[in-house]
Amino acid sequence: MIDIRIEHSGLTEALTGLARACRQRAPLMKELAGDMADAVESNFEAQGRPAWQGIRSRPGGRILQDTGRLASSIVSNSDNDSAVVGTNVVYAAIHQFGGKTRPHVIRARHAKALRFGGRFARSVNHPGSDIPARPFLSLTDDDATRMEQRVADYLRQAIDG
């Protein structure tokens, strides 16, 4: 029987570094969460990638950025097992996925009556609104490719030491 033994300390060190990097993923996850947050910020700057449907009542205005609350509420979080980007703003889901608001009554707050087209009323019944989906928590193919490259670089650096 022939027994061949090859000792290569460089290979052992590379595999040890790779195993360590695969166990301790928190630095990678933090970078990926930052990449996702940057992608969401780019979505707001570009008003959607692909472009969001416009707003009829405010032509020329920035979509989903009336006060800036939604865009400024985006937070990223990461741990050893995950990288997450999201928001805690209540109305974020209807803008992300679209939907219909429920019917409701609009009452005058700062005056005795509301005025619509020359008519006055103390309150009006609003039938609800159809809100189109404007996905701001999304990644483009370029974003995904950039993140895949980040993972490859992380693993390559772990192997190279």
Name 103's bridge partners: none
CB burial of residue 12 (10 Å; 0-12, 13-18, 19+): exposed
Read off the pTM: 0.81
Determine the Cα–Cα distance for residues 113 and 101; give it in Å rounded to an integer: 24
- The reply to whether 143 and 90 lie within a common domain is yes
Determine the Cα–Cα distance for residues 16 and 1; give it in Å rounded to an integer: 31
Amino acid sitting at position 67: T
Nearest CA among 49, 2, 62, 79 for reference residue 143 = 49
- The reply to whether 84 and 115 lie within a common domain is no
- The reply to whether 36 and 17 lie within a common domain is yes
Q: Which domain holds residue 56?
A: 9-98+136-160
* Residue 1 domain-assigned (yes or no): no
Tens digit of each residue's pLDDT (9 = 90 or more) over 95-106 = 999 999 999 999
- The reply to whether 73 and 115 lie within a common domain is no
- The reply to whether 59 and 93 lie within a common domain is yes
| 57 pLDDT more than 70 | no
- The reply to whether 46 and 82 lie within a common domain is yes
Determine the Cα–Cα distance for residues 27 and 157; give it in Å rounded to an integer: 12
DSSP assignment string, 91-130: THHHHHH-EEPPPEEEE-SSSS-EEETTEEESEEEE---E
Confidence band for 82, pLDDT divided at 50, 70 and 90: very high
* Residue 3 domain-assigned (yes or no): no
Greater model confidence, 96 or 10 = 96
Mean pLDDT value across residues 112-125: 89
Output DSSP code: residue 52.
Answer: P
- The reply to whether 36 and 55 lie within a common domain is yes
- The reply to whether 94 and 143 lie within a common domain is yes
First to last CA, the chain: 37
* Residue 54 domain-assigned (yes or no): yes
Number of structural domains in the chain: 2
